[in-house]
A and B are shown apart, each in its own frame.
Chain A
Amino acid sequence: MATVTLLLELLLMVGMAYSFGFLYYGLYRNITARVHGRFGPSIAQSFWDSIKLFSKATSTSFGWMFTAGPIIMASGAVMTVLFIPFFNQGDHLQGLSPYGNLLVVLYFMVLGPLGNALGVGSSGNPFGAMGITRGLTRLFALEMPLYLATIGLMITGGTADIHTLMIQQSTTPNLLSHPLLFVAAFLSLVGFLGKSPFDVVGAPQEVYSGPAVEFGGKFLALALSQSAVFTFAKLLLMVDLFWGGAATLLELIFKTFVFFVVTVFIGNVYGRFTTVQSVEFLLKVPTVIAIVGLLRV
Chain B
Amino acid sequence: MTFTPIDLRGIVAPFAAIGKALEHPRTVCYPAQTKTVAPDYRGFHTNDLSACIGCANCQDVCMNDAIDMVTIAQERNTRNKSGCIPRIDYGRCCWCNLCVDVCPPDSLGLGQECIHVAERSDTFLFFPKDAS
Beta-carbon contact of A269 and B14 below 8 Å: yes
Beta-carbon contact of B14 and A270 below 8 Å: yes
Which residues does chain A contribute within 8 Å of B25, judged by CB atoms?
A: 33-34, 37-39
Which residues does chain B contribute within 8 Å of A285, judged by CB atoms?
A: 3
Which residues does chain A contribute within 8 Å of B27, judged by CB atoms?
A: 37-39
Q: Closest chain B residue to A34 by CB distance?
A: B21
> For the complex, is A258 an interface residue (Cβ under 8 Å from B)?
no
Q: What's the least CB distance linking B24 to chain A, in Å?
A: 9
Give the complex CA separation of A281 and B1 in angstroms: 10
Beta-carbon contact of A39 and B18 below 8 Å: no
Supposing A269-B14, A269-B15 touch, asked if A284 and B20 sit within 8 A by C-beta, the answer is no
Which residues does chain B contribute within 8 Å of A37, judged by CB atoms?
A: 20, 23, 25-27
Which residues does chain A contribute within 8 Å of B18, judged by CB atoms?
A: 35, 265, 268-269
Which of A35, A270, A276, A281 is in CB contact (< 8 Å) with B20? Answer: A35
Beta-carbon contact of B1 and A31 below 8 Å: no
Beta-carbon contact of A277 and B17 below 8 Å: no
> For the complex, is B29 an interface residue (Cβ under 8 Å from A)?
yes
B-contacting residues, A243-297, CB 8 Å: 265, 268-270, 276-277, 280-281, 284-285
Q: Closest chain A residue to B10 by CB distance?
A: A270
Q: What's the least CB distance linking A194 to chain B, in Å?
A: 19
Which residues does chain A contribute within 8 Å of B29, judged by CB atoms?
A: 39
Q: What's the least CB distance linking B106 to chain A, in Å?
A: 42
Which residues does chain A contribute within 8 Å of B26, judged by CB atoms?
A: 37
In which size bucket is the chain A interface? 10 to 19
Main secondary structure of the interface of A (DSSP, over half): helix
Which residues does chain B contribute within 8 Å of A284, judged by CB atoms?
A: 3
Give the complex CA separation of A34 and B17 in angstroms: 11
Q: Which of B21, B23, B26 has the most CB of A within 10 A?
A: B21
Beta-carbon contact of B1 and A280 below 8 Å: yes
Which residues does chain B contribute within 8 Å of A39, judged by CB atoms?
A: 25, 27, 29
Give the complex CA separation of A277 and B14 in angstroms: 19
Q: What's the least CB distance linking B1 to chain A, in Å?
A: 6
Give the complex CA separation of A284 and B2 in angstroms: 11
Give the complex CA separation of A277 and B2 in angstroms: 9
Beta-carbon contact of A277 and B1 below 8 Å: yes
Give the complex CA separation of A276 and B18 in angstroms: 28
Q: Which of A37, A270, A276, A280 has the most CB of B within 10 A?
A: A37
Beta-carbon contact of A265 and B15 below 8 Å: yes
Give the complex CA separation of A37 and B22 in angstroms: 9
Which of A31, A276, A280 is in CB contact (< 8 Å) with B21? Answer: A31
Give the complex CA separation of A268 and B20 in angstroms: 11
Give the complex CA separation of A280 and B1 in angstroms: 9
Which residues does chain A contribute within 8 Å of B1, judged by CB atoms?
A: 276-277, 280
Give the complex CA separation of A36 and B27 in angstroms: 10
Sorted from nearest, which 7 A-B pairs have the closest CB atoms?
A: A269-B14, A34-B21, A38-B27, A35-B21, A38-B25, A269-B17, A39-B25
A-to-B contact residues, CB < 8 Å: 31, 33-39, 265, 268-270, 276-277, 280-281, 284-285
A-B contact pairs, 18 of them (CB 8 A): A31-B21, A34-B21, A34-B25, A35-B18, A35-B21, A36-B20, A37-B20, A37-B23, A39-B25, A39-B29, A268-B18, A269-B14, A269-B18, A276-B1, A280-B1, A281-B3, A284-B3, A285-B3
